[in-house]
Each structure stands twice: as C-alpha cells, then as structure tokens.
Structure 1
Amino acid sequence: MSWYLKLPLRTKLLLSFISIIVLTIIITVAAVNSMRDSQNVADYIRWTLEERSVRIANTSSDMINLQHQGDIFMETIYNAHSKGTTPPRGFDQPVNEALVELASSAEQLQASRFPEEIGFIKDSVRQIQERYQTLVQPLLSDGKYFEAAEAFQRNIPEFFSPVYTRLDKVRNIQTQEVIDQSRVLTNTAPMYVVIGIAIFSLVLSMAIAFYSASYINHALSITIKNIGYLEKSDFTHNASSKYQDEFGNLTTSVENLRQQLTKVIRSIIESADHVNEVMKDAQQSIVRLNKNANSSESRAISIAAATDQMVSTTQDIAQNCDVAATLARKTSDKTAEGKSQAQQSINMIFQQVEQTKANSQQIEAMINQSRSIGSIVNTIDEIAAQTNLLALNAAIEAARAGEAGRGFAVVADEVRALATRTGSSTNEITKKISLIESDANKASATMDQSVAGISALADDTSVLEHVLNDIFEQVENVTSQITQIATAAEEQTTATHEISTNMQELTNSSREVAQIASETQESVNVTSKEIANLVSLMNNFKL
C-alpha cells in the first residue's frame, strides 16, 4: 500500500467515493438487468398468451366450426334427398361464412417460428377453399345437392385431422415455452447474485470507509501530537511523518515552523543580550552628549553673529549683479538685431546666386539648340549638294536625249540653280549660328564668373553670420552667468539668513538636547530592565 500513502488526501477521498459509487452502479446494473430479463419474459408470456395462442385458438375454433357446419350441410342434403325434396334456400350460407372466417384466421397466423406447421395449415385452408369453390359450389349451382354432399364428403374432411394435429403441436410448443419462461421468472439465482453483489459492495464500502477514517484519524493524531510539543514550548522534538500527502505536507510545515521559531527565539535571546550591552554604552554616550550640548550652545551664539554680517555682504553683491545683468541683456538685444540683418543679406545673396545659375542654364540650353540647328543646316547643305549633283546628271542625260530631253534639261537647270541658292543660304545660316554660339559662350563664361563671385560673397557673408552667432552666444553666456551669479547671491543671502535663524534655533535646541539627554538616560534604564525580563522569558523555551 506504499503507493496509496503517496497519493494526495483529495485523491484518496475521491478514490473511496468513486469505489462506493462504482459498487452502487454495479448493484444497480445487476438489479436492472434482472428486472429487465423478468420483464422480457413476462412480455414474451403475455405476447404468447394474448396474441400467438389466441391466433391458434381462433384458427382451431374456426376449423371446428367449419367441420360442424359441414356436417349440418351434408345432413341437410341427405335428409332432403331421403324425403325427395330440395334443401331449404340459403342452407349453404353457414358453410361459406365458416370458410371465410377460417381463411381470415389462417391468414393471421405467422410462420416465423413454426414455418412448416403454419405453412401446412395455411396451405390446407387454401386447398379447402379451392376444392369447395371448384368441386362443391358448381354442383350446388346446378341443383345437384346430393352430388355436392358427396363431393364435400370426399374432398373436405380429409384436411381436418392433419390441421388439428399441426394446431395441437404448435399449441403444445407454445405452452411448453410459456412454462419454460415461467420457470425463468421463478428462478432465484439472479436474486442471489444481486444479493451477493450487494453484500460484497456493502462490506467493501465499509472496509474503505473504515480504512479511510482510520488513516485520517492516525494522521491527525500525529499532527496534533507535534503541535502539542510546540504548545508546551518544547522545541526539541522533531516533527516527522511517514505520509506523503497533505498530512505529510502539514507535518513538514509544522517541522519548518519549529525550526524557524527555534531560530527566531535564539535570535531574540542573542539580540536581547546585544541590546543590553548597547544600552550600557548608550548610558555613557548620553552623559557625553549632555556635556557636548552645553558646549554647542556657546559656539552657536558666536556663529549667529558672524552670519548676520555675511547677510549684509551678500545683499550688496546681489545688487551689483542685477546691474551687470541688465547691461548684458541690452548687449544681447543689439547683437541679435545685427544677426537678423546679416541673415537677410545672406538670403538675398543666395537668391541672386540661384537666379544667376538659372540664367546660365538657359544660355547653355540656347547653345545646345544652336548646335542642333547647325546640325540641321549641315544636313540641308548636304542635301543641296546631292541635289545639285543629281541636277547635273539629269542635264547630261537630257543632252544625250537631244530634242526629246530639252524640256527635262530646263527643269534640271532650274533644280541646280535652286540647289545652289540653298547652299548659299545654308552657309549664311551657319555663319550666323557660329556668331550666336560665340556670343552665348561668352555670356556663359561671364555668368560662371558672376556665380563664382556671388558664391564667394555668400561664403564671406556666411562667415560673418557665424561670427555674429558666436558673439551672440558669448553674450548670452555672459548674461546667463551674470544672472546665475545674481541668483546665487540672492540665494546665498537667503541661505545666510536661514543659517542665522537656524543657529538661533540650534542654540535653543542645544538646551533642549541637554534636557532630553537626561530624560533619555532614565528611559534607557527602564529599557534595560525590560530586556532583562525578555531574556528571562525566552529562557523558558526548550531549544
């Protein structure tokens, strides 16, 4: 059972309850199964008696009724034949009704359990109907009553005995099944099984409950015993337990508490001894403190007089610093104004630089366009030369053609003249473009020089701006330092005044310290007595 001791208490209790619940469920299931079996047997008996047996009984009764009506049918015919008369009207109606009832009863029979017997009965009833309808009724319709009776006697009664035999067999089997099932109901074995399971479950549940209660009682008694030692101020006994569940954890906690309390009590005893020694030293220190307090009172009076003189001096320094700070602020304002004007000049110079650069870019674009035009003019000049050459060739060919090419020669001359004028025009355009490019290059060079000069001016102005910024920063630093000096002087005045006030209070405090030192000495004496009592109380614990 070592594994059981290692389980948590909650798990142990849950296992106990679950075991009892499982046993209860087993008993319930066994009882329910027994009751269900009994119910099934009772339902089978009821079904056999109320339905199956009734169907067999109805079929047997209808067969007996048919046999009885057949006897009456034949007796009526024979009596009428012996008297030389005809049977009364509708004398065969009871036989017809008996056949219909027999067919209905036989149709309700189920062949699932007795297929051979029930099949024979249904087949016999069907043959009785067929023979009656084919062999007897036609003779009755023709008025041959005696022949009909003879036909009935020959063909119908032979089925009665075999059908009765099958019906009795089925009835006997059903009766035997009912008897067998009834024996199941009267069988006491399931009841003994349920009672046995119930007794076993009860004994096992009581064993589980007894074991769980004994376990919990024993574990609690160990814990109470360990706590009892602590209650009696006995810290020499170790708290131990073999259990590894919550009770084991509780015992471990009690042991940890014992160890911690032992350490605390020992620490208290040691601290009390140490405090007692400290109190003795404190008594001596308080005596010295009283002497020093009297000496501090006379020194504080001298320091208070010196601080009053220092207050007057620091007030003069603060006034002079205020005047210097005012002048520094005016200088800072003028420097800021010059810095602003220099910044405006720098901005205008930079704007002029950007404008000059834009003009230079436009001139450069114009030079590029002139070069493009020159390229186009060269192309036109080449075309004119080619045209002139073609016109010359055309004139030669026209001269070879003689009279027929005269008109073509005139056109060729005109084309050549036009090509010549075109070449002259392109030469003039080329010269003009060359002049434009030369002027544009000069203007571009001039613009570049202007940009360089303005850029240099902008750089110089930027240097001036940096100088003004440095001056402004230096003035601001001077102003800030003067302001800080003035503030510090005012603070020094305030602090010196506070020192003077504090020194006066210190004088009064020195008097109070001497009085408090005397009172403290009395308190230390009382505390020493209390510590002695605490040590005596701690010695009552067994460690």
Structure 2
Amino acid sequence: MVRGIKNRIVLILSFIVLLVSFLIHVLHRVFNIADLWDHHGAEQISLVTNIFLIVPVILFIMSLILYRMNREHPFLPLFNTLTITFSSVSMIAGGEGMVEYHFSIFMVVAIIGYYESIKLILIMTAIFAVQHLAGVFYISEYVFGTDSYPFSMVMIHALFLIGTSGAIIWQTANKRKLVADLDEKEKKQELLNGIIEKLSHTSEKLIDESGKLKHNYESNQVALKEIVSGIQEISAGAETQKNKTVQSSQAIQDIATGVQNIATTSTEASEVSLNTVQEANDGNDMIQKTVDQMNSINDKVSSSSDTIKLLNSRSREIGEIVELITDISSQTNLLALNAAIEAARAGEHGKGFAVVADEVRQLAEESANSANRITELVQSIQEDTTTSADSMNEAMTSVKDGLRIVQDTGEIFGKIHTSVEGVAEQIKQISSSAKDVSDVSEQSSATIQEMTAFAEEATDNAQNVASSSDEQLESTEFLSTLIATLNEISHELEELVSKTEELK
C-alpha cells in the first residue's frame, strides 16, 4: 500500500521533470534564449540532443506501463529513478550545458531520496558521475556548454554530488535503523503485553478453580460427617440386634424346656400350654421388632453405601480439577520460561521483567508440587472410599442374611404359636405335639445362634467402617490445608501480574 503511494507520487514528479526538460529544449532550440547556439556542426549536435531528449521519454513510458500492470511492481522505483535522472541529463544537454541547469541534479537527489533506497541513490550518483566524466573527455558541449572544461572544476562538481548523495544515504540508513529499533521495541512490547494478558488469564482461572476445589472439599466434609454419623448408628443398631438375638435364643431355650415338661407331666399340660401360648406371643412380638430393626439397619447401610459412592465420585472430580490445575501450572511455567528468554534478549531493559518471570516460574512450580500432593491425597481418599464401599457391601449382605434369618424365625414362631394352641385343644395328642414342638424349638435355637453370630459380625464390620471413615475425615482435613496453600499461591500470582502491568 505505502509502496504504491510512493510510486504514484514519484511517477507524477518524473512526468513534471520530463515536461520541464521538454520546455528547456524548446526554449533553447526554437527560441534560442541563450543566444549561444553555434551553427557549426548543427546536425551532429541536433542528433545527440534528440537522443538525450528521447531516452527519458522511453523510460517514462516503461514506468507508466509497469504502474498500470502493478502499482507495487518491484522494478517501478528503478525506472522512475532512471526517468528522473536522464530527464536531468536531458535538461543539461538541451540547455547547452549551462551551469544553472546542473542544479537539477540536487532536485533529482531530493526526489529519489523519497524512496529511502540507498541502492537507487547509488545508481543515480553513478549515472551523474558517468555524465560528468563523459563531459570531460567526449561531450563537453552537452555537459558544460564549452569545448573544454577544467578537470578540477569537474572534481568540485563531483565532490558536492557525492557529499549530497552521501548525506542522503547516511540519513536513509540512520532512519532505517531508527525504524527497525522502533519496530523491535513495538514487537517486544506486544510480546510483553501478550505474556501479561496470558498470566492474568491464568491467574484468574487458577483462582476460580481453587474456589471450585474449596467448594467440593466443603461438600465432601459434610458428606463424610454424615457417613460417620450413619455408620455409628449402624454400629449401635447392630449391637442392639445382637442383644435381642441373645434374648430370643434364651426364650427359645425356655420354650424347649417347657415342651419337655409338657411331655413328662401331662397333667400340667393345659396350664403349661397356656403359659407357652403367652410366651410364644411375646416371642413373636420380639421377632417382629427384630425384623423391623433389621429393615431399618438395611436402609441405613444402603444409604451409607450410596454416600460412600458419592464421596468416591467427588474424589474423582477433585482428581480431574487437580489435573486441570497441573496443566495450568505447566502452561504458566512455559510462559514464565518464554518471558525469561525475551527478558534476556532485551538486555538491561528486561532485567526487571526477568525477576518477575522467575518468580512466576517458581510459583508455577510450587503450584505443580501442591497439585501433585493433592493428587496423592485424592488417590489415598479414593482407595479408602473403595475399601469402605467394599465393607459396606459386605455389611449389606450380612444385614440381608440376618433379615432373612429373622423372618424365618418369625415364621417358626408362628408355627410354635399354632402348635401351642393345638396343645390346649388337643390334650390327648400332647406327647406327639410336644415332640414336634421340641424339634422345632431345637431348630429355632440353632437358627437364633446363627443369627447371633451374624449380628456380631455385622457389629464388627460397622465398627471397622466407622474407623475408616474417621481416618478419611482426618485425611480431608489435611486436604483443606493444601487448598488454602493453593489459594494463597493464586493470589500471589495475581499480585505479580498487577506489578508487571505497573512496570509497563
């Protein structure tokens, strides 16, 4: 875009210089304003002058064609330079070498300097140097307006020409250097702004993720406390169940004793049977209560199992968040390394930023180490929750088995109740019924003993789960400390970003 504008301006100026050259030719060749025309050798002079007149015209036409093809054509500056340079040569030749027209050389230097190209200035200077040397040895009339011209005067011309061109070249080179330095500073500033922006974004994201981690930790704390409370209730229920099964076992043994007494003392069968009916009713009520208690234990164990599964899921979420924090720490470390490299390139100007970049890198490493410690802790929590889940599953299985046994026992007590009522109504079959009841009583006693063993096992499992839950709760308290450390690091990183922005 800029090159095209420069080409257009210089093309217009070259056309104006070309018109001035034509005007000078007309004034000197038609109107003879200098009154210096020598008719001796006029044909030769006219031919050479026409050559000097036509050359810039041809060059201008070529420049115009290139401009129409492409306004930013790479050869267009060269042809514009040649057009203006040879137009000046044509002015001098058409003006019969008058010294006044030599000042057009400085006009050409000024126009070509607009391109800020050392190569073009050197080409222009070389053409004028060749012109003056040719004027000394071959075509003095067209360059200096006389048959001979002192070489010392030519050297003076050359000295001023070289001095002017050299000054333009020096100014152009110095300007290029200044522009390059400014561009380099702008690039470094843009890079610094990009790094600061990325650090700011990373800091905000780290703070946000730290807040989410803290929220998840608090939710897990509540869930763990509920689990511990539920397990303690399960343990107490299991202990109660064990006591009641012992009582049921004792009641069954009493029933068996009563049945044996009925078998040996038939005269007391009616009274004993009535007592047995009452005891059977009491036992049935007790069994029903046991069934209700077992159902309650089963519900609580199921709820505890769901809570442990939820804790396990939350632990995985914490693990995913920690992985995200690890990635953010890695990116922050990489950004800090890049910033340190850029600061090293900047030299003295980048020392302050290098210190900041090093602190950012150290904070990123501390964040990564904290994230690794959190990952290890989360893995430990997941292992503990898995163990707790397995224990809870075993407890649920034991509770279900105990519930089934109690239900079976309830059914047996129903049979006992029916049998005892039959004894009251059928005293004649007391011996046979007593034998049946004795057999059933023995079976019930064995069942109750098994149920007692299951109740003891359920109690032990519940206590183990409660102990594991307490340990897990203590582990999560350590996680709270790590979260606080991570949050503090995040705020320190944010402060560093703010200080870096102030350095801008």
Q: TM-score, normalised by structure 1?
A: 0.33
Q: TM-score, normalised by structure 2?
A: 0.35
Relative contact order higher in (CA < 8 Å, ≥ 6 apart)? 1
Which of the two has higher C-alpha Rg? 1
